[in-house]
Amino acid sequence: MIDLSVNKTVLEKNITKAREKGVIIPTFSQMKDPEGQISDDIKGRLRNTGLWDLDPLNLFRVTWKNEPVERGGLFGGPNFIEIPPALSGVKARIVCLAGKYFPTGCHKVGASFGCLVPRLVTGQFDASSQKAVWPSTGNFCRGGAFNSKLLAVDAIAILPEGMSRERFDWLKTVAAEIIATAGTESNVKEIFDKVREIRQTRKDAMIFNQFEEMGNYLWHYQVTGNAIADAFESIRSRSPGESNFAGVCFTSGSAGTMAAGDLLKQRYPCSKIAVGEALQCSTILDNGYGSHRIEGIGDKHIPWVHNVKNTDMAIAIDDNDSMALLRLFNEDAGKEFLIHEAGLDADQVKNLALMGISGISNLLCCIKFAKYYELGSGDVVATVLTDSVDMYRSRLEELREERGAYRTLDAAADFAASLLGESADNLTELTYTARKRVHNLKYYTWVEQQGRAVEELDDQWYRQEKSFLGVQKQAGEIDALINDFNARTGLQ
Ligand SMILES: Cc1ncc(COP(=O)(O)O)c(C=O)c1O
């Protein structure tokens, strides 16, 4: 559960600071329904604000429902695209929510909001004297640094040195401090080690560890879950025949996004939740080790916030397919091939730039899921595009240098092998026993290494009303704290 006990003295200081800096904090209900819930005054002021501006007003853009423009946008329905069957090779409708239209170009700004704001509005975090530490494989610390800046908090970003240049370049402009740990996205243990060192040596730091913060879970349960349901309902209302919500597939980093599946399964009880990982070192599928190139997704541990008991399937994606499709979707020869040979229209091809590497992997998970469950044209599978190709331009350059210019022949081969050739291999449906086996892996990371109580681990399995189900209900209480905070700054 998220600790919501209030420290009145620190809370008073946080309110004073927010008043001085002009910070108004949005509620969960505003992030879920910005068009209906955000005041006309705020909307009017957003008309003059850029999507990435370091302006506290942009806290109101921590939502899937931003108008997809760089400046001055307001709100509409969730931003999503549907993947044409000509591309996916399956009849099922694959719906992808687009993270590009969040400030920072990635939805992780929401996960970091979910972690920081409850501590700020309870006074557990002191915005005047403490620094917020954001351990991450990249985007979470970008989101955390961004939110920190908007909330007038100093940020320390921790990320592996091997992450893309784009991430480091932008972070330098926002975070007070950047710490690069050894390795790449596979080296989560190195990040945990750094966190432990900071916890022991820096008294001014509060760690926001996305892998264990239930605020991450709650944000996705409430905001991403509802946005996917809205996308599905808008498709259903426009479709002549039956529409069935078949499930969600998400590759997992912190497993925060997976929480959306918990809401969707409650709303559509026959739907399923699949977790994706990299074939090169899949943890759930085969306790693998090594490294992979799907930036943002982790491995070799099970995040604390992953509701494994509610996860129906694990799917491993070969990172060679994701990298091949990154080129197919973004190189000129690839785009021309998709229009002239695969029959996509220009807009459909343009939309493919909304996919970062993990987004492509999510699409591949959906294809495998659809093939395994033999889904038809009335079935909808949903996923998210966490970030877009904008974060990986340097990777495209590297691939060009490494493999040469991309040709029509490469496009044909990649389309056949990495898309149409996807099959229902490298996946497993998780039985009760298999889920329990995966859940038990949390013991090593979280109880043995990170010092959590074994009773908490057991709560996640045997007494979910004290863990995931309990957290799901905390949004109302947090919203009341946020409303009270805003009222006391006098800014609203
Ligand atoms: C690009 C990218 N994809 C996927 C993920 C995984 O999302 P989650 O941490 O919610 O599992 C992340 C997480 O940081 C990410 O940055």
pLDDT of res. 203: 87
Q: Could you read off the pLDDT of 402-439 as tens digits, one per residue?
A: 999 999 999 999 999 999 999 999 999 999 999 999 99
Averaged pLDDT, 297-314: 94
Task: For domain 80-103+214-429, give the CATH number.
Answer: 3.40.50.1100
Q: Which of 183, 42, 59, 98 is nearest to 359 (CA)?
A: 98
pLDDT of res. 492: 78
Q: Which residues contact 382 (CB under 8 A, 6 or more apart)?
A: 94, 95, 96, 97, 228, 231, 232, 245, 247, 248, 249, 264, 366
Q: Is the shortest distance between the CB of 99 and ligand 1 below 6 Å?
A: no
Please identify, in words, the CATH class of the domain defined by 8-73+104-213.
Answer: alpha beta
Q: With 80 as the cut, is the pLDDT of residue 458 above it?
A: yes
Q: Is the shortest distance between the CB of 138 and ligand 1 below 6 Å?
A: yes
Mutate to test the pocket of ligand 1, among 297, 357, 362 (most ligand atoms within 8 A of CB): 297
Distance CA(186)–CA(209), nearest Å, equals: 16
What is the DSSP annotation of 39-61? Answer: -HHHHHHHTT-BTT---GGGGGG
Q: Give phi and psi for 273, each to the nearest 5.
A: -120, 125
Q: Is the shortest distance between the CB of 252 and ligand 1 below 6 Å?
A: yes
Q: Which two tokens stand for residue 359?
A: 């987004």
User: From the CA of 409, how far away is ligand 1's center (Å)?
Assistant: 32
User: From the CA of 297, how far away is ligand 1's center (Å)?
Assistant: 5
Q: Is the shortest distance between the CB of 256 and ligand 1 below 6 Å?
A: yes
Q: Is the shortest distance between the CB of 164 and ligand 1 below 6 Å?
A: no
Q: At what angle do helices 332-340 and 319-330 cross, to 10 degrees?
A: 80
pLDDT of res. 395: 93
Confirm whether 8-73+104-213 and 80-103+214-429 share one CATH topology: yes
Q: Could you read off the pLDDT of 367-407 as tens digits, one per residue?
A: 999 999 999 999 999 999 999 999 999 999 999 999 999 99
Q: Is the shortest distance between the CB of 295 and ligand 1 below 6 Å?
A: yes
Q: With 90 as the cut, is the pLDDT of residue 455 above it?
A: yes
The sign one gets for the Cα dihedral 11, 217, 139, 380 is negative
Q: Which residues contact 449 (CB under 8 A, 6 or more apart)?
A: 192
Q: Is the shortest distance between the CB of 253 and ligand 1 below 6 Å?
A: yes
489 or 184: whose pLDDT is higher?
Answer: 489
Distance CA(92)–CA(369), nearest Å, equals: 10
- Which range is least confidently modeled, 81-90, 195-204, 343-352? 195-204
Averaged pLDDT, 227-244: 94
pLDDT of res. 299: 80
Q: Is the shortest distance between the CB of 140 and ligand 1 below 6 Å?
A: yes
188 or 445: whose pLDDT is higher?
Answer: 445
The atom of ligand 1 lying closest to the CA of 111 is 10
Q: Which of 304, 351, 359 is nearest to 330 (CA)?
A: 351
Q: Could you read off the pLDDT of 17-47 as tens digits, one per residue?
A: 999 999 999 999 999 999 999 999 999 999 9
On whether the CB atoms of residues 115 and 215 are closer than 8 A, the answer is yes
Q: Could you read off the pLDDT of 106-127 as tens digits, one per residue?
A: 999 999 999 999 999 999 999 9
Q: Which two tokens stand for residue 223?
A: 């905001």
On whether the CB atoms of residues 224 and 257 are closer than 8 A, the answer is yes
pLDDT of res. 187: 81
Q: Which residues contact 65 (CB under 8 A, 6 or more apart)?
A: 33, 34, 35, 75, 76, 77, 78, 79, 227
How many angstroms from the chain centroid is the CA of residue 85? Answer: 25
Q: Which two tokens stand for residue 156?
A: 């320390």
Atom 4 in ligand 1: which residue has the minimum CA distance?
296
On whether the CB atoms of residues 438 and 284 are closer than 8 A, the answer is yes
The atom of ligand 1 lying closest to the CA of 391 is 1
Q: How confident is the model at residue 211 (pLDDT cuts 50, 70, 90)?
A: very high
Averaged pLDDT, 459-478: 98
Q: At what angle do helices 357-372 and 319-330 cross, to 10 degrees?
A: 110
Averaged pLDDT, 59-63: 98
Q: Which of 169, 84, 115, 166 is nearest to 344 (CA)?
A: 84
The mean pLDDT of the chain is 96
The atom of ligand 1 lying closest to the CA of 250 is 11
Mutate to test the pocket of ligand 1, among 106, 107, 139, 322 (most ligand atoms within 8 A of CB): 139
Q: With 90 as the cut, is the pLDDT of residue 184 above it?
A: no
User: From the CA of 229, how far away is ligand 1's center (Å)?
Assistant: 20
Q: With 80 as the cut, is the pLDDT of residue 185 above it?
A: no
Q: Where are the domains of the chain?
A: 8-73+104-213, 80-103+214-429
β-strands 244-251, 427-429: how paired?
unpaired
Atom 12 in ligand 1: which residue has the minimum CA distance?
296
Question: In Å, how far are 212, 266, 280, 364, 433 from 287, measured between CA atoms?
Answer: 21, 30, 11, 21, 16
Q: With 90 as the cut, is the pLDDT of residue 442 above it?
A: yes
